[in-house]
Amino acid sequence: MAEAMVLCRVPRWSVGLWASPGWWRTTCTLRALVRPKRGPGCPGGASGPLACSMFSKVSSCTPEVMLTQERYPVQRLPFSVVSEEDLAAFERLVPGRVVTDPEELEVSNVDWLRTARGCSKVLLRPRTSEEVSRILRYCHERNLAVNPQGGNTGLVGGSVPVFDEIILSTALMNQVTSFNSVSGILTCQAGCVLEGLSRYVQERDFVMPLDLGAKGSCHIGGNVATNAGGLRFLRYGSLHGTVLGLEVVLADGTVLDCLTSLRKDNTGYDLKQLFIGSEGTLGVITAVSILCPPRPKAVNVAFLGCPGFAEVLQTFSTCRGMLGEILSAFEFMDAECMQLVQQHLHLASPVQESAFYLLVETSGSSTGHDAEKLGCFLEQVLGSGLVTDGTVATDESKAQALWALRERITEALSRDGYVYKYDVSLPVERLYDLVTDLRARLGSQARRVVGYGHLGDGNLHLNVTVDAFSAALLDTLEPYVYAWTAGQRGSVSAEHGLGFRKRDALRYSKPPPAVQLMQQLKALLDPKGILNPYKLLPTQA
Amino acid sequence: MAEAMVLCRVPRWSVGLWASPGWWRTTCTLRALVRPKRGPGCPGGASGPLACSMFSKVSSCTPEVMLTQERYPVQRLPFSVVSEEDLAAFERLVPGRVVTDPEELEVSNVDWLRTARGCSKVLLRPRTSEEVSRILRYCHERNLAVNPQGGNTGLVGGSVPVFDEIILSTALMNQVTSFNSVSGILTCQAGCVLEGLSRYVQERDFVMPLDLGAKGSCHIGGNVATNAGGLRFLRYGSLHGTVLGLEVVLADGTVLDCLTSLRKDNTGYDLKQLFIGSEGTLGVITAVSILCPPRPKAVNVAFLGCPGFAEVLQTFSTCRGMLGEILSAFEFMDAECMQLVQQHLHLASPVQESAFYLLVETSGSSTGHDAEKLGCFLEQVLGSGLVTDGTVATDESKAQALWALRERITEALSRDGYVYKYDVSLPVERLYDLVTDLRARLGSQARRVVGYGHLGDGNLHLNVTVDAFSAALLDTLEPYVYAWTAGQRGSVSAEHGLGFRKRDALRYSKPPPAVQLMQQLKALLDPKGILNPYKLLPTQA
């Protein structure tokens, strides 16, 4: 069953959109892989739809991004500086795949949100784990810092250098190694783009267990390194459960082969778990083995209006009970979110104006059965007044349109002004209280305080928009949001990770002994600290 | 929603069976919690149904179990020996809960399979994590070895002392801390018995995400420490995905509080994962937070006969496609297994004699829909000749009877003679080849070579029965079985763990750098090596 193929050979920086045949959910907000084009361009704020799209890799019309080392109080650690001899050595290790052109490097030095910028002078593009091993062995000996990079779609500044770290890109490690059509187990290199993998397994009647808005750019290795959550989490669970094996290159170049393709393996400590969510700080993931569920034959999407958050919670309980095993997403957004997508994106609400909106998706193996279950559920929640209005889509294009209302909130937010972003986990029954509290606390200081997210996972995306960045407002928000979350034993980062920007918030979700053990693990696996420095672990213990 | 209650206050060593109200699957093979009663008794081999039941805690009629230190070539490590002063100190730490009576200790010194026996002189029964912390801090300072023990239902000698390690029992840590009826998240102490938890959450319309034959005795902490698989693995996946939080006491007494009740938490390394499957060698799990799925409204069980293993595999593929999200178990057994349960347990086969038998279970939210899906599937596999005969149970008692055919194989095996047991993961398409190869290799040396297990998980239980133990046969079996498994990149322990008996087989499933990293992790977390020594890690690196 082993087969090898190259996925996504579309030139990474080609102009325009990467056309995706897609499956059933739209990728219309995905404007990845746009060629970097710097210059004065059009004025910041007002811009064409493509260049300023939320998923543009690099926009041509936004102002220069300030260097991270200038914006934040951070000191370069005493790593070596890349020399001409180093570049010559790299050229021997990965011939023709050593990038030093500043224009090309810019794309990998700046993060997707355009709020962090490193000044790396070299990017390496290995094709194999052996090449990664040789590179890391060399860097380890030379005390050179390394920033592993996948699709560079992270939201916390974790995927770009802070100073001059060498960028180690997985872009050319894009081979599928094998797929077992009985078990649904896929094994591939870390640089495979998620959307390409989705297409690959869908053609074989399976689906990837994760799906993200950034799927057109993000790499599976990066997904695993950041323990990506996303839209199928409610149904298929965490990558800690679905990733079956990993190949990881350690800081000193040791190749750790835990790339088993087995559902069960209780031989010793489950080492791969250490690297899932370690954000490239403990090792470089070079290959992944992952369990793909069978492709559902029927998908339905309902979009509902709810009069209050209590009704949202009751609808969720009812939904779990009545839709059971076919429930695949339960997303919510508040009235402010709807106003945002209406105002900035001219999307029309398919339901009456409500305090809250829900998107409920089912995925199952029988069109008739699923429609019947969904019908009974809708009858129940509409009849009892939990839901006041709703619409259902069974065909792909209408379902896409409903998903767009939820998926394009981020894009609408970015057009509303400067955005302060938070991504927290809370007990579901307290989930919206943080939005209400913060709205009261900020009053007229904020343009909007909005809440939306993966209710089924207890994951709130809390966003505050203002005219322009203000340090004073930041002080009002932080640590308030983190302390509030900690007060509920919540997580200050549900799915985005800590990266560079949130590393000092770690202590709000983890007690000192846990932080200390993390530091000990880092010291054990990367004693020189060369792997993705300045990330994940707090500045001071 | 927080509530506290005491589960399973049934005296641990009370006479007779612990009556279980059960749910729908029988616990008829569960004969746990039988009072230890030693003596010459009846002759070994022939015995009453209760005393020699496979799940008896200690049988009254089997010969004395040889001390592990006499049976195996193992040297005591230079730990301190428990003194009178130590006993007095323990009495101060856990007053009235220091067990030194030899009769009482015997039950905890001998493993469930009666093949391993330690000579511990003291068992401690803490009630809180603080007490565990104080005990471990004391033992760490005194260099006293500790054997954490849950329900003592392990199959690899991991749950009993090898020498005189102090037994640290979680039996009195049996409180449910909280249950959230919206999210289905349960938080409880480590010593809660799995069956008690199942009952508790079922009363609230949820189920535990794992189910085991040993559920009447095993502790949730032990389940997590050994990363238990079991009967619901196919549907709800690994504990690495369903366990949301852990509280763990480290070797030096540090309490590591990672007991979050959140589905998503990407703040730093996911430390709890280190302890899942670490078999008590890295820390003592004192509390668990776990995600419980909604209780299915309909359960169906089909028992089918298949003419060959190729047909078994095709039936599995068809089943996944047609039953989709309602498939909850896909178990197989060969003709020899059926003969065993017929001969030794007088169970009747509900279907025609076949080369292989399958048990397919569905669990869903709609009786009608599930019956229709199952009907279509059966029509398809019977019509195409993949399956030659079959029966379906929808009511609880008939379903129990069908499950008994599969669940009681172990019991039937134990009545067939001395049993060599293996538990391996293999690629599904090669799963049965190991049985066939071994049968040919052993010829008349073995009474029977049988294969059964969780086909849906790629997990084969391979058993060889003979008249009596023979070291020569052991040499024929090992490392042959391990090397064969390694040749397929399989796992030499799919779900049972390594414990004491399989620790030297680790290298067949993990490469040297992985074993080395495991040893480094052990040294980091337990520098004196006091936690469950002689277990999991190989004798020599």
pLDDT per residue rounded down to tens, chain B (541 residues): 333 333 322 222 222 222 222 222 222 222 222 223 323 222 222 222 222 233 333 344 445 889 999 988 899 999 999 999 999 999 999 999 999 999 999 999 999 888 899 999 999 999 999 999 999 999 999 999 999 999 999 989 999 999 999 999 999 999 999 998 878 999 999 999 999 999 999 999 999 999 988 899 999 999 999 999 988 899 999 999 999 999 999 999 999 999 998 999 999 999 999 999 999 999 999 999 999 999 999 999 999 999 999 999 999 989 988 998 999 999 999 999 999 999 999 999 999 999 999 999 999 999 999 999 999 999 999 999 999 999 999 888 999 899 999 989 988 998 998 889 999 999 888 999 999 999 999 999 999 999 999 998 899 999 999 998 888 999 999 999 999 999 999 999 999 999 999 999 999 999 999 999 999 999 999 999 999 999 999 986 4
Comparing CA positions, the residue from B16, B157, B19, B172 lying closest to residue B95 is B172
Angle (CA) A433-A439-A444 rounded to 5° is: 175
- Provide the shortest C-alpha distance from residue B92 to chain A (in Å): 26
Q: Which positions of chain A have pLDDT values less than 70? A: 1-63, 540-541
Listing DSSP states for B7-44 in one string gives: ---S-TT-SS------SSS--TT----PPP--SS-SPS
- Alpha-carbon gap, residue A107 to A127, rounded angstroms: 20
Q: Is the distance from CB of A193 to CB of A219 less than 8 angstroms? A: yes
CA angle B66, B71, B76 (to 5 degrees): 105
Place of tokens 């001899």: A85
Nearest residue to B14 via CA among B36, B41, B38: B36
Question: How far apart (Å, rounded) are the C-alpha atoms in residues B168 and B173?
Answer: 11
Provide the pairing of β-strand B255-258 with A284-291: unpaired
| Three-state secondary-structure class, residue B515 | helix
Chain B interface mutation, best of A252, A264, A509, highest count of B Cβ atoms under 10 Å: A264
Q: Taking CB atoms and an 8 Å limit, are A263 and B233 in contact across chains?
A: yes
Pick among A263, A271, A275, A485 to test the B interface (most B CBs inside 10 A): A263
As a whole number of angstroms, the distance between CA B169 and CA B108 comes to 9
B369 with A373: Cβ contact below 8 A:
yes
Give the torsion through C-alpha atoms of B440, B442, B446, B447, to 10 deg.
10
CA distance to partner chain A, nearest, from residue B369 (Å): 6
Cα-to-chain-centroid distance, residue B359? 20
CA distance A376 to chain B (A): 11
Residue to mutate among B271, B325, B331, with most A CBs inside 10 A, is B325
Nearest CA of chain B to the CA of A326: how many Å? 7
| Strands lying side by side in the sheet with A356-364 | A389-393, A298-306, A356-364, A327-334, A448-454, A459-466, A418-425
Q: Are B147 and B263 in contact (CB under 8 A)?
A: no
C-alpha separations of B429 from A1, A182, A372 in Å: 10, 8, 37
pLDDT the model gives residue A540: 65
Q: Which of B246, B270, B290, B257 is nearest to A493 (CA)?
A: B270
Q: Which two structure tokens, joined as six digits, stand for A499?
A: 């990266």
Residues of A in contact with B525 (CB under 8 A): 517
Question: Reduced to 3 states, what is the DSSP secondary structure of residue A120?
Answer: coil
Find the CB nearest B509 among A238, A254, A265: A265
The whole-number pLDDT of residue B466 equals 94
Looking at residue B540, its pLDDT comes to: 64
**Chain-chain contact of B263 with A459 (C-beta, under 8 angstroms):** yes
Smallest CA–CA distance from A265 into chain B, residue:
B494
* Nearest-CB residue to B267 (from A363, A498, A524): A498
Question: Which residues from B are below 8 Å from A510, CB to CB?
Answer: 258, 267-268
Confirm if A435 and A356 have CB atoms less than 8 A apart: no
Which chain B positions have a beta carbon within 8 Å of A290's beta carbon? none
pTM: 0.88
**Residues 6+ away with beta carbon under 8 Å from B175:** B4, B5, B6, B7, B188, B189, B192
Q: How far is B518 from chain A (nearest CA, A)?
A: 6
Q: What is the 3-state secondary structure (H, E, C) of B86-103?
A: HHHHHHHHCCCCEECCHH
Cα separation, A310 vs A458, in Å, equals: 14
Q: Can you list the pairs that A335-343 forms with residues at least 24 positions away whose Cβ atoms lie under 8 Å? A: A336/A448, A336/A449, A336/A450, A336/A451, A337/A409, A337/A412, A337/A450, A337/A451, A337/A452, A338/A405, A340/A409, A340/A412, A340/A413, A340/A416, A340/A448, A340/A450, A341/A405, A341/A408, A341/A409, A341/A412, A343/A412, A343/A416
Count of positions (residues) in chain B: 541
pLDDT in tens, A203-247: 999 999 999 888 999 999 999 999 999 888 999 999 999 999 999
What whole-number distance in Å separates Cα of residue B279 and Cα of residue A474?
45
Give the pLDDT confidence of B443-500 residue by residue, as tens digits. Answer: 999 999 999 999 988 999 999 999 988 889 999 999 999 999 999 999 999 999 999 9
Residue of A320, A425, A511 lying closest to B263 (CB–CB): A425
Nearest CA in chain B to A325: B325
**Most A CBs within 10 Å, among B186, B207, B254, B265, to test the A interface:** B265
What does the pLDDT read at residue A63?
A: 60
The per-residue pLDDT for A1 is 32
Interface predicted TM-score of the whole assembly (ipTM), two decimals: 0.88
Residue found by looking up tokens 């199928």 in the block: A232
Cα distance from B323 to chain A (closest Cα, Å)?
7
**Residue B176 contacts residue B3 (beta carbons within 8 Å):** yes
Following DSSP, what letter does each residue of B422-482 receive, concatenated? EEEE--GGGTTHHHHHHHHHHGGG-SEEEEEEEGGGTEEEEEEEESS--HHHHHHHTTHHH
Report the residue of chain A nearest B204, measured CA to CA: A321
For B241, name the nearest residue in chain A, comparing CA atoms only.
A241
3-state class of A451 per DSSP?
Answer: strand
CA distance B297 to B205: 9
